[in-house]
């Protein structure tokens, strides 16, 4: 995985090199990106190469993101950026209002050149309140979450066994971890993977 | 503390969007998704009574307080991250016996949860769960 991230970072910075050639923005040189990556972060401290928040505007290949702490982020999507939105996807599937986590390289101008962007991703610990046709109703910290089973995508992992599409072993009252994608401004998610104890 | 083998996942905390919006600052009051922090199952008697790693047969999980440093290694790729305790968790006893592997590298039972900023250094957030080792140096 680390090798994959390194390769992705190389691709991202290489793509930025293309931007340099196209726009003449010297601050986006690949060397600057790698230099920025060398910053070490102390345990407990915020990571300048990470951002979270909701997309307030999309302009060209830039995402303008308002952090949950109200800090504003400019996130640049490059040809090397990996985008996840329930599954690996493309930039055109990203929308204003989506939530995200992003990791990349903070450039001298403050822009985050993204290696990876996880759109609307949630990782919830919940109890199953009820099971319907292609839907789970979850209790999550006092909130009701409607979790949709997506045919061909949603999978269940029962006690560490290989992922399967069969959700029939999920039982009301059981504790689960649900990795999925949030539907913005609702209490609904699409299920990527449900982890359930046996 | 000898290195502890188990599973690592991630959780959100602090100001957040979506279903995470109610997460808050965790048991230590300092937790932020963008910081290198983690949840640990044995931060206090009250915490341990909830997480119950002993119910899964885990011994050697030391009592550690807010701000203590642990280092987590993803056994799938060897990537390592240093973080500080900011919350109580994961609730180990709810997944007793669960086992996660990457080839022959395996971990059993949930022993640590990282913030998204920390987890994404050692694995993609979309993986959700990884075998790991945790130590203090």
The C-alpha of B49 sits at a distance from chain A's nearest C-alpha, in angstroms, of 17
Cα separation, B84 vs B56, in Å, equals: 24
Can you tell me the distance from the alpha carbon of A120 to that of A6, in angstroms, rounded to the nearest whole number? 24
Q: Which fold has domain B4-13+23-135?
A: Barwin-like endoglucanases (2.40.40)
Q: Are A99 and A184 in contact (CB under 8 A)?
A: yes
- SS3 of B19, please? helix
- Give me A151's structure tokens: 């045919």
Tell me if chain A has a CB within 8 Å of the CB of B136.
Answer: no
Determine the residue among B64, B117, B121 to mutate to test chain A binding: the one whose Cβ has the most chain A Cβ atoms within 10 Å.
B117
User: Is B19 close to A189, i.e. CB distance below 8 A?
Assistant: yes
- Domain of residue A165: give its range: 121-196
- Give the C-alpha separation, A104 to A188, whole Å: 28
pLDDT of residue B28: 95
Q: Is B104 on the interface with A (CB under 8 A)?
A: no
Can you tell me the distance from the alpha carbon of B55 to that of B93, in angstroms, rounded to the nearest whole number? 6
* A12 and A110 assigned to the same domain: yes
Q: Whole-angstrom Cα distance, residue A52 to residue B24?
A: 15
d(CA B75, CA A177): 21
The rounded distance, in Å, linking the Cα atoms of B4 and B61 is 8
A92 & A133 share domain: no
Final residue in a domain of this structure, among A73, A98, A119: A119
A197:B97 CB<8 A: yes
Q: Check whether residue A130 and residue A73 sit in a common domain.
A: no
- Which stretches in chain A have pLDDT values below 70? 1-39, 198
Given A89, A119, A149, the domain boundary residue is: A119
Whether residues A65 and A129 fall in one domain: no
Residue A112 sits in the same domain as residue A129? no
Measured CA angle at A56 (ends A51, A62), to 5 deg? 65
CB-nearest partner of B69 from A43, A143, A175: A43
Nearest residue in A to B131, CA atom: A160
Within an 8 Å CB–CB cutoff, is residue B116 touching chain A? yes
Here the tokens at position A23 are 């726009």
The domain ranges of chain B are 4-13+23-135
How far is residue B12's CA from residue A84's CA, in Å, rounded to a whole number? 17
Residues B77, B90: Cα–Cα separation, whole Å: 22
Tens place of pLDDT per residue across chain B (137 aa): 679 999 999 999 998 999 987 778 899 999 999 999 999 999 999 999 999 999 999 987 899 999 999 999 999 999 999 999 999 999 999 999 999 999 899 999 999 999 999 999 999 999 999 999 999 98
> Which residues of chain A neighbour B35 with C-beta distances below 8 Å?
44-47
**pLDDT for the residue B59:** 84
Q: What is the predicted ipTM?
A: 0.95
Any CB–CB contact under 8 A between B5 and chain A? no
């Amino acid at each position: 995985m680390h090798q994959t991230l390194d390769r992705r970072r190389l691709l991202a910075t290489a793509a930025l090199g293309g931007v340099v050639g196209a726009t003449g923005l010297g601050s986006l040189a690949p060397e600057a990106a790698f230099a920025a990556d060398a910053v070490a972060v102390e345990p407990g401290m915020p990571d300048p190469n990470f951002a979270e928040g909701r997309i307030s505007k999309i302009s060209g290949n830039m995402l303008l993101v308002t952090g949950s702490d109200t800090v504003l982020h400019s996130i640049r999507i490059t040809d090397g950026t990996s985008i996840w939105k329930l599954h690996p996807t493309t930039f055109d599937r990203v929308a204003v209002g989506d939530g995200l986590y992003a990791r990349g390289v903070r450039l001298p101008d403050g822009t985050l050149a993204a290696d990876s962007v996880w759109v609307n991703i949630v990782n919830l610990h919940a109890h199953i309140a009820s099971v319907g046709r292609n839907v789970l109703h979850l209790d999550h910290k006092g909130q009701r979450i409607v979790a949709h089973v997506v045919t061909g995508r949603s999978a269940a992992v029962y006690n560490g066994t290989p992922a399967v599409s069969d959700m029939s072993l999920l039982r009301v009252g059981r504790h689960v971890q649900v990795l999925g994608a949030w539907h913005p401004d609702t209490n609904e998610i699409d299920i990527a993977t449900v982890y359930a104890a046996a | 503390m000898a290195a502890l083998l188990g599973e690592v996942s991630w959780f959100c905390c602090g100001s957040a969007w979506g279903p995470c919006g109610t997460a808050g600052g965790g048991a230590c009051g300092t937790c932020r998704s963008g910081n290198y922090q983690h949840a640990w199952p044995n931060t206090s008697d009250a915490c341990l009574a909830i997480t119950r790693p002993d119910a899964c047969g885990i011994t050697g999980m030391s009592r550690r307080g807010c701000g203590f440093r642990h280092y987590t290694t993803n056994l799938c790729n060897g990537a390592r991250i240093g973080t500080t305790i900011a919350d109580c968790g994961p609730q180990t006893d709810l997944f007793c016996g669960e086992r996660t592997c990457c080839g022959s590298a395996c971990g059993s039972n949930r022993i640590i949860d990282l913030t998204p900023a920390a987890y994404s250094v050692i694995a993609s957030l979309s993986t959700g769960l990884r075998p790991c080792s945790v130590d203090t140096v």
